[in-house]
Amino acid sequence: MRDSRARIVLTACSVIAVTGLIALGVQVALASTGDPKWSVHQKAVASVIEKCYFNGAFNALDADAMGRGFHETFAIFSAKGDELSRYEIADWMAGVRKRKAKPDFDPKSAAMECRIVSIDVTAGAAAAKVEMRRDGRLIYTDYLSLLKFKSGWKISAKIYHRHPDSK
């Protein structure tokens, strides 16, 4: 009887120890990979958005980064009355370069507080909702469509809402 109790206690301690080690390993893995809820694909999409959209189009005004992260046929779509307006990536990148090249350009004027609200990925297609704030005020809510090409994830289209109090 004593032997069987000792085995039960030893087995219980082993299970607890192994469970503890597994939990510790999971915590270390999660701490080193960012948001624990995001898949590898969501993290890849987030990286493109951060480097090429947030820093390319806004905070760093880096048109070259935009070129790496946006598909060449990308466009921003918006409603103008009953018409669908389309703003091409080439025009946007030219505007970013022109703005940054102005002698009186103040980098602070381009700075936005950017946040990825959500990323949804299904195989090679992704949709992301992002928000941009300035001085704590919500300026834009954007919806980005991304596709996975041989060369990686590319931002393919954008629709957005400019919040009325943001002007």
Which pLDDT band holds residue 35 (cuts at 50, 70, 90)? Answer: low
Q: Which pair of tokens denotes residue 48? A: 């493109």
**Which residue, 59, 61, 58, is CA-closest to 158?**
58
Q: In what order do the strands lie in the sheet with 70-80?
A: 83-88, 70-80, 152-162, 137-149, 125-134, 113-122
pLDDT band at 91 (very low <50, low <70, confident <90, very high): very high
Residue from 56, 65, 68 nearest 110 by CA:
56
Highest-confidence segment of 12-16, 29-33, 109-113, 146-150: 146-150
Q: How far apart are CA 109 and CA 50, in angstroms?
A: 18
DSSP letters, 64-106, are HHHHHHEEEEEEEEEEETTEEEEEEHHHHHHHHHHHHHSTT--
User: Which pTM was predicted?
Assistant: 0.76
Of residues 162, 154, 166, the one with CA closest to residue 56? 154
Beta-bridge mates of residue 161 = 141
**Res 153: pLDDT:** 98
Q: What is the pLDDT of residue 67?
A: 97
Q: Which of 106, 159, 165 is nearest to 134 (CA)?
A: 165
